[in-house]
Amino acid sequence: MTDLPASKVDLKSVLATPARVDNSEGMSYLQSVPRRLVTLYLPLTIIVVVLLFPFYWMALTSVKPDDQLLDLDRFNPFWTWNPTFKHFHKLLFESYYPHWLWNTMYVAICATILSIVASVLAAYAIVRLRYKGANLVGGLIFLAYLVPPSILFIPLATVVFQYGLFDSPLALILTYPTILIPFSTWLLMGYFKTIPFELEECALIDGASRWQILIKIVLPLAIPGLISAFIFCFTLCWNEFIYALTFLQSTSNKTVPVAIVNEFVDGDIYRWGSLMAGALAGSLPLVILYAFFVEHYVSAMTGAVKE
């Protein structure tokens, strides 16, 4: 017990020293502590609290017992002392929720894999094969990125109907790549550009075919890019709403976002507890994935914008 404070201080000074050595503090020493408190920490705290409050509220609602949910006067609404997992139990065992989760996962993974394969080939061809008109095609793909799904869903619904794909997960697996391919192609083009030409030239001299170069040299070097593209595409798929809302009809085929909006809101009696539990359970997989790959995620987001 007596050792604890001492070791704490030690650790602190050890952590702080390298920061001073490499001058990463910059010019912040010019500002006094009270000033920093007002200009930096206070606004930052307010913004972060506002940004995170809905999740706290979502989580709290999902474990509150029903009587506390709608009675704001007898109970403090910001906390609950007797959390219940009733809403989650109802979600998992008395609804199609596991089905919906599985559908979302299945569609997201298939669409992501399809689009990553297509984009790897396209990006490699545009950046490294430099066929005639490669730049033009690159530009067109960027334009495709700017075409929003809300313009396309009506004609796509007729196309999906014509191909007999209506109300099948295949409709989503085939249409999601139109959102994902432009994005991931641009992202991967950026990554492929950073791989030195010399590596490919050496391989060509040693008699490797283009295909072998792509599989054995370029792809292993672009793994961070592939992970970024994969995670971002997966998130986009999970998030997609309008296509899933339009192309799917039967309850058991729906994806999580659509199902929660359509199936959990019955008439005037809003089942807030299970609604919030559903929303929370639908977000958690993405948040967990994100927690593991923050850096990749950020580089995907900024990479696609910088290009």
Partner 1 sequence: MADVAIPRAKPQMSEDNAWTRLKHNRNWLGFWFMVPAMAFLIFFLAYPLGLGIWLSFTDTRIGRVGHFVGVENYEWLWDDSIFWLSVFNTLLYTFVASALKFAIGLYLALLLNENMPFKAMLRAMVLIPFIVPTVLSALAFWWIFDSQFSIISWSLKHLGLINQNINFLGDTTWARICVIFANIWRGVPFVAITLLAGLQTVSPSLYEAATLDGATRWQNFRFITYPLLTPIIAVVMTFSVLFTFTDFQLIWAMTRGGPVNATHLMATLSYQRAIIAGQLGEGAAISSAMIPFLLAAIMVSWFGLQRRKWQQGENND
Number of amino acids touching partner 1 (CB under 8 A): 98
Tell me which residue has tokens 């060509």.
Answer: 204
Q: Does 102 bind partner 1 (CB under 8 A)?
A: no
User: Which residue stretch of 2-10, 81-89, 125-133, 221-229 sits at the interface with partner 1 (rule: CB under 8 A)?
Assistant: 125-133
CA distance 8 to 28: 25
Q: How far is the CB of 95 from partner 1 (least distance, A)?
A: 15
Question: Which one of residues 4, 14, 21, 72 is an interface residue with partner 1 (CB under 8 A)?
Answer: 72
Q: Does 205 bind partner 1 (CB under 8 A)?
A: no
Q: How far is the CB of 223 from partner 1 (least distance, A)?
A: 20
Q: Does 47 bind partner 1 (CB under 8 A)?
A: yes
Instruction: Tell me the per-residue interface mask from 257 to 286 with partner 1, x by CB under 8 A, - otherwise.
Output: xx-xx--------x-x--xx-xxx-xx--x
Q: Does 38 bind partner 1 (CB under 8 A)?
A: no
Q: Does 130 bind partner 1 (CB under 8 A)?
A: yes
CA distance 174 to 107: 9
Nearest to 225 by CA among 118, 300, 292: 300
Question: Which one of residues 101, 103, 182, 296 is an interface residue with partner 1 (CB under 8 A)?
Answer: 182
Tell me which residue has tokens 């296509």.
Answer: 243
Neighbour count for residue 36 (Cβ, 10 Å):
12
Q: Which is nearer to partner 1, 1 or 15 (CB)?
A: 15
User: How many CA atoms, within 13 angstroms, populate the side-chain half-sphere of residue 98?
Assistant: 6
Q: Does 74 bind partner 1 (CB under 8 A)?
A: no
Cβ density class 272-285: b for 16+ within 10 Å, e for less: bbbbbbbbbbbbeb
Burial of 70 (0-12, 13-18, 19+ CB in 10 A): exposed
Q: How far is the CB of 2 from partner 1 (least distance, A)?
A: 26
Q: Does 210 bind partner 1 (CB under 8 A)?
A: yes
